[in-house]
Amino acid sequence: MEWSSKTVPERPDANNGKTGRILSRLFIYLLLIGSAVICLIPFYSMFITATHTNSSIARQLLLIPGDQLLDNYHRLIETVPIWRGFANTTLISVISTLLTVYFSALAGYGFSKYRFSLSSMLFAIVLGTMMIPGQLGIIGFYRLMDSFGWLNTYWPLILPSVHNAFGVFLMKQFADSSIPSEIIESGRIDGSGELYIFHRLVLPLMMPGIATLAIFTFIGKWNDFLNPLIILFDNELQTLPVMIAGVKSQFTADFGAQYVGIVISIIPILIVFSIMSKRIISSVAAGAVKG
Q: What CA–CA distance (Å, rounded) separates 49 from 30?
A: 28
3-state SS, residue 123:
helix
**Average pLDDT, stretch 99-119?**
91
Residue 267 pLDDT exceeds 80: yes
109: closest CA among 203, 213, 212?
203
- Return left, alpha or beta for 118; rule: phi > 0 is left, psi -120 to 50 is alpha, else beta: left
129 pLDDT above the threshold of 60: yes
User: Who's near 247: CB < 8 A, 6+ residues apart?
Assistant: 76, 79, 80, 253, 254, 257, 258, 261
State pLDDT tens for residues 17-67: 678 788 888 999 999 999 989 988 888 888 999 998 888 888 888 888 888
Going by C-beta distance under 8 Å and a sequence separation of 6 or more, which residues neighbour residue 76? 82, 247, 254, 257, 258, 260, 261
pLDDT at 91 over 60: yes
Is 276 among the domain residues? no
Q: Does residue 25 lie within any of the structural domains?
A: no
Label residue 214 exposed, middle or buried (CB < 10 Å: 0-12, 13-18, 19+). Answer: buried
Sign, Cα dihedral of 188, 189, 192, 198: negative
Question: Mean pLDDT, the chain, as a whole number?
Answer: 85
Q: Give the percent of the chain with pLDDT over 90.
A: 43
* CB contact set of 27 (below 8 Å; sequence gap of 6+): none
- The answer as to whether 275 is a domain residue is no
Mean local confidence (pLDDT), 130-139:
85
pLDDT for residue 10 is more than 60: no
**Cβ proximity of 84 and 236 under 8 Å:** yes
List the beta strands (DSSP E) in 70-144.
none
Residue pair 206/284 in contact (Cβ under 8 Å)? The answer is no
Lowest mean per-residue pLDDT among 88-102, 129-143, 157-171, 238-252: 238-252
User: What is the model's pTM?
Assistant: 0.82
**Residue 225 in this model has a pLDDT that exceeds 60:** yes
Judged against a pLDDT cut of 80, whether residue 170 lies above it is answered with yes
| Contact (Cβ atoms closer than 8 angstroms) between residue 271 and residue 185 | no
Q: What pLDDT, on the 0 to 100 scale, is given for residue 60?
A: 80
pLDDT tier at 13 (50, 70, 90 boundaries)? low
In a domain, residue 279? The reply is: no
pLDDT band of 136, cuts 50, 70, 90: confident
Is 53 contained in some domain?
Answer: no
CATH code of residue 138: 1.10.3720.10
Read off the pLDDT of residues 189-206 as tens digits, 9 standing for 90 and up. Answer: 888 888 999 999 999 889
Q: Is residue 249 over pLDDT 60? A: no
Q: Is residue 97 part of a domain?
A: yes
Please report which confidence band the pLDDT of residue 239 belongs to, taking 50, 70 and 90 as the band edges.
very high
Cα pseudo-dihedral 116, 117, 121, 125, rounded to 10: -60
DSSP class per residue in 167-204: HHHHHHHHHHHH--HHHHHHHHHTT--HHHHIIIIIHH
Domains: count for the chain:
1
In this structure, is residue 219 part of a structural domain? yes
Asked whether residue 289 carries a pLDDT value surpassing 50, the answer given is no
Q: What is the pLDDT of residue 151?
A: 93
- Please give the average per-residue pLDDT across 224-243, as a whole number: 92
Mean pLDDT of 116-140: 87
- The confidence score (pLDDT) of residue 221 equals 94
Amino acid at 230: I
pLDDT in tens, 63-84: 888 888 999 999 899 888 999 9
Has residue 55 been placed in a domain?
no
**For residue 90, what are the domain limits?**
80-246
Query: CB–CB of 71/256 below 8 Å?
Result: yes
Residue 157: count other Cβ atoms within 10 Å of its Cβ. 25
